[in-house]
Structure 1
Amino acid sequence: MSWWGRKLEDRERWVLDPLVGLGPLRFGMDSDEAEAALGGAREGNSQVAADGGCWVRYQDVGVTGIYGPGMILAGVAIDAMEGPLVRLREVELIARVPSQARTEIGNLAGREDAAVRVNWSGDPEIAAWGVSMGTALEYGISSEGRPERKDGMITSALFVSAELAESPYETGPVLHWCDVREREKNGGSWPVKTDQERSHWDWSPLKAVGPLRFGTTPQQVADALGGEVPAGRQGHFPYWWWRRGAAGQWTLAYDRFEQTGVTAHYWYPQGLPVLGAVTVHGRTGPQITYAGTPLVGATPSRLDEAMLQHIEDHGLGLLFTPSGSPIPPGLQFDINAIRTGDTAISEVTFASADWEL
């Protein structure tokens, strides 16, 4: 069953045994035992690490198994929209409003004298339970039967064994599945600029976003932003077995400019990095309009409705992007959703003609 067809009441219900396992899964199982415990669930995406560990997404049940060396189960990630509903004592952890889950987790942790800290995403993390909470945007079903974005966030979670519990996202098995070292860290708040506080940029589809022109070098991008130094950058080596500090050409993927509120994405059409796309940050980035509609910092569902109405009024044809946003064909942009606590607002990625969104 597709995730958008899975109702909350139809999802499996699992109980967490902290640091030991959850539902039918037990930390220390090998991959064959875990697959059998999941009833032979169909495997989707997976990746193997140089040290022999791997992660496997079991797409039928919304579960990702994270394996250490020897294919031993060390962690389990539960998807917000399609994974089992996991309970610890009386607290439901999955598919909850984040602030409500945070309050109940805090109350339970207080009773059990368990320390609660904030993880990289600004969500609760409790080493004593091997729990690190997360969130994802909630989706629903439109009247036409297609998935549509809602405006709220719901909880997901990572559960790990005792060996990983102190710093889950800094351990090898979890880093291989989700490397957050270069991502912007959140302290648990999501301030948003008002429209009056934002600068306003023009957009030339397929050519430029404000002062940033597609095809320019990283240095030219920084110069166009007044010499701003990137607050963060991410890249990769060409092969999975190359690690940081190893020989080989490091490939720059993007620069994040916090002061301006944009991320510059690069590609290598002729062997050197040039600007291929720009993401305007929803909480802090400049405002950009299309057909009189502000695209940045808007309520996702209302913006989707406005785009659909504009497309229908002008007979422009309809394209759904990978994130599920409806846009006219040929403009190369995607309306994403970024968290603002329990809710979300829009942020937009604008791309050059040959960039794959």
Structure 2
Amino acid sequence: MSVVSGRVLIMLEEWWRVQPDEDRVQWVLESFTAVGPLRFGMSADEVTAAMSALTGGTEHRTWGGGPGDKVWRVEEGRYREFGLHLYYQDERLSGIAVDALCGPQVTVEGTALVGRTPSEVGRWMEERDAELSYMSLGVPRSDLLGVVVNVQRAHDRLLTRPVFFPAEALDDLPHWFPQRAWEIHG
């Protein structure tokens, strides 16, 4: 193996390094209300204040689309080092996606949802939620918990990357977030 190939391999290993649970900030899901200190409906300034003790600044992007009177706009705030993607509609927090590799560990009823094998979390959801449904590509969605258990690539495997949402998203969840929220990141 050449020196360049060796460096690339080391960079890829770091890129896909999964942070152990004991090194992650621990948060609890309050269905449709809050994920850790972040409450749905907070302004970006309130989110920044809540996150200031945990991590540095955020990057912002705006996504939009739709025909005629169905135009939508979502602003995305991203805490890259902390592993969070936050989505805002009408300048209020409307969605939270947690990075499988380095985001906070979010639990519900003592069960960890972040960075797990998708089948393990899917089985747990099936056992507890008779209303469980599936989005495209078989991604489980719980309308009782307010979570879609999406996936993220970690080298040659997939891990859970949950996307949390408020109750008002239930009627049109696929369009509540920009398409990027549903993509498999890697």
In structure 2, distance between residues paired with 1:217 and 1:200? 23
Task: Structure 2 unaligned segments of length 5 or more: list them.
Answer: 68-72, 174-186
Match of 1:278 in 2: 96
Pair 1:215-2:3 in alignment = no
Quote the offset at 1:310 in angstroms.
2.8
Match of 2:86 in 1: 264
Report the identity percentage.
28
In structure 1, distance between residues paired with 2:133 and 2:80? 31
In structure 2, distance between residues paired with 1:334 and 1:354? 15
Letter in 2 for 1:267: Q
Quote the offset at 1:322 in angstroms.
4.3
Match of 1:336 in 2: 150
Q: Alignment partner of 1:201: what SS?
A: strand
Pair 1:199-2:25 in alignment = yes
Distance change in 2, residues 1:258/1:229 (3 Å)? same
Letter in 2 for 1:307: M
Match of 2:62 in 1: 235
Per-residue CA deviations over 1:28-58 (Å, capped at 9, x if unaligned) read: xxxxxxxxxxxxxxxxxxxxxxxxxxxxxxx
Distance change in 2, residues 1:293/1:323 (3 Å)? farther
Structure-1-length-normalised TM-score: 0.39
In structure 2, distance between residues paired with 1:335 and 1:284? 16
Quote the offset at 1:325 in angstroms.
3.1
In structure 2, distance between residues paired with 1:334 and 1:198? 21
Greater Rg over alpha carbons, structure: 1
Match of 1:303 in 2: 121
**8 Å CA contact 1:297, 1:347 repeated in 2:** yes
Letter in 2 for 1:211: P
Q: Name which structure has the greater RCO, CA cutoff 8 Å, separation 6+.
A: 2
Equivalent residue for 2:161, pick from 347, 350, 357: 347
Distance change in 2, residues 1:322/1:352 (3 Å)? farther
In structure 1, distance between residues paired with 2:51 and 2:149? 23
In structure 1, distance between residues paired with 2:153 and 2:51? 25
Q: Alignment partner of 2:138: what SS?
A: coil
In structure 1, distance between residues paired with 2:137 and 2:26? 24
Structure-2-length-normalised TM-score: 0.72
- Greater helix content: 2
